[in-house]
Amino acid sequence: MKDGCSESKISVDVLMPSVYEELRRLANRYFLGERPGHTLRPTALVHETYLRLANGSTQWDDRLKFLAAAASAMRHILVDHARAQGRQKRGGRPRKVTLNETIAVGEEDLPSLLDVDEALRKLTQHDPRKGRIIELIFFGGLTYDECAEVLEISPVTLYRELRAAKAWLYYELAPAARPA
C-alpha cells in the first residue's frame, strides 16, 4: 500500500475496455428516439465520457462504481449538449425523452431532457439518495441489484426509495399534476 491508497483501485484505462460495449449499448439506447441528423452520436458520447473520466486522477474500487461515475458523466454531457443545441436554435425545443419505467406521462407531453435534468436536480437537493438512484438506473443503466450494491443499501430499501422517487418525478414532470 502506497500513499494510503489501496492496491485494489482500478484506473479508467484499465476499466474502459471491459465496459466499453456496455456504455455503447447504453448510449445507443439514449439515441433511439432521436431525430435524424442529431449532432451527437452514441460513440461520441462514450468517448466524451471516457475523456471526462480520464482527465481526473480518480480510481475506482470496482466496475459498478466506475459505471456509476460514467452515468453521471453521460448525464452531464447530454444535458450540456441539449443546452447548447437550445442556444443555437432560437425557439428550438430540446429533445423529448422518456424515463422508461421512471415516470409515466402521456406521449404528447413528454418532458425534454432539460426538464428531466431540472426535476432530477430538485429531487437530489430534496433527497440526494433518491436522485442518485434515478441517475444510476436511468443514465447508468444499472439493474436494481447493481444500484443497491453501489449505494450500499438493501434491494428492499432501493425499491421503496425508487417508488417514492418515481412519484416525486411524476408530480414534478406531469403537466396535469402541476398546479395551474
The DSSP string of 124-160 is HHH-HHHHHHHIIIIIT---HHHHHHHHT--HHHHHH
The pLDDT of residue 105: 41
83 and 150 Cβ atoms separated by less than 8 Å: no
The pLDDT of residue 55: 79
The pLDDT of residue 38: 66
The pLDDT of residue 36: 63
Per-residue pLDDT of the chain (180 residues; tens, 9 = 90+): 344 444 567 888 888 888 888 888 888 877 776 666 667 888 888 889 888 888 766 777 888 888 888 888 888 888 888 888 765 554 555 455 555 544 444 444 567 788 888 999 999 999 999 999 998 988 888 899 999 999 999 999 999 999 999 999 999 988 755 555
96 and 110 Cβ atoms separated by less than 8 Å: yes
Give the class (CATH, top level) of 12-177: mainly alpha
* pTM listed for this prediction: 0.67
Q: What's the chain's length in residues?
A: 180
Q: What is the largest CA-CA distance in the chain?
A: 60
The pLDDT of residue 5: 46
The pLDDT of residue 109: 56
Q: Which residues contact 178 (CB under 8 A, 6 or more apart)?
A: 171
Domain boundaries, the chain: 12-177
With 0-12 / 13-18 / 19 or more C-beta atoms within 10 angstroms meaning exposed / middle / buried, residue 62 is middle
Kindly state the helix (H) or strand (E) to which residue 24 belongs, with its residue range.
Answer: helix 12-30
